[in-house]
Structure 1
Amino acid sequence: MIGKLKGTVDSQGTDFVILDVHGVGYIVYCSTRTLRALPPPGEAASLAIDTQMREDMIRLYGFASDQERDWFRLLQGVQGVGSKVALAILGVLPTGDLALAIARGDKTAVARSPGVGPKLAARIVAELKDKTATLGGGEMPGEVLASTPALPLQADDAVAALVNLGYGRPQVMGAVADAVSLLGDEAGTAALIRHGLKRLSS
């Protein structure tokens, strides 16, 4: 099984890259987001790999990070989500945005992905809501934190308290953000925790 490839970008197609590793050209299927992030032909690149074997073929899927690969695998555990749909979702939503959307129950965000209708989006959110914390320690990538509205200082205390109770950080971030939106920036830590717990248990 191949878990990682490091080589030189040879060329790209609409949904794949050919990575030259010591003279061997590997066809690696990637999300549009990963393809856009790759350097131009002739430059070095490294991809985390998921190897899928069937009776008639072996197919390689490449990712910018181990966390993205883990999300790819997790998504395919949902009925109706195959490799093509999983890549489409990851092409539209960075892993942190996907975790936040699932934590908030935001079916609309997930449904923006090609091939994902409202029913499938609802199934993805429902089935993965309690599993996102297992990915990368449940941390939110910096790109998502940077795009998330700044929360008051007491919200950090509320997040820490809820994480200590065993909830995953992505779910907690979404719950506390919702609490701040509802109660306002002046809400105290206790109130944020109380409303956060209500959101997490719903």
Structure 2
Amino acid sequence: MVQNPARRTALADAAIEVLARDGARGLTFRAVDVQAGVPNGTASNYFANRDHLLHQTARHIHHRLTPDPAVIADLLRAPRDRALVTALMHDLIRRISADRAGYLAMLELRLEATRRPGLRAQLTGTIREQLEANVAYHLDGGLPGDRETVLVLYLAMTGLIVEHLTLPEVLGTDTLPALIDTIVERIVPAT
């Protein structure tokens, strides 16, 4: 396999765009090459097969969706209370909305994982690891609530994100900030 990290990243970014636009069935080496604007055959030089492309794309999506440490550090200057959790959830929605293709691609990968046991195992491990890291971060950071609080908040926010990115007219984008506030208020205990 070719080892040009910048080109590999560009191809992974192109694969995310293809997944978001065309779904998993549309994710081909040729489609990635076209999206990346590289010569035909380039993607196949970087990814051994379609499964490898799917796995590497999933890893790259998680990298793209990782919060900016500077933004998080700035947010964490606030007291460890419900208002901070609310600010963190608003930041989450801001990041997801800014990289809509990344999250839609992740949804496509989740659907594809129902048909590919190897991808399902990888995504399950990655998502579980991230969820556990979020629980630990919440608890270790002294944020209000317990493990169950984080799990219920995760499920509520995931549902809101799916609705917002796939059928935004159902809830309307004007109501999104108030819905986030309500979710946190109903789930996270006051301190």
TM-score by length of 1: 0.30
Higher helix share: 2
Higher relative contact order (CA 8 A, sep 6+): 2
Structure (1 or 2) with the larger CA radius of gyration:
1
TM-score by length of 2: 0.31
Higher strand share: 1
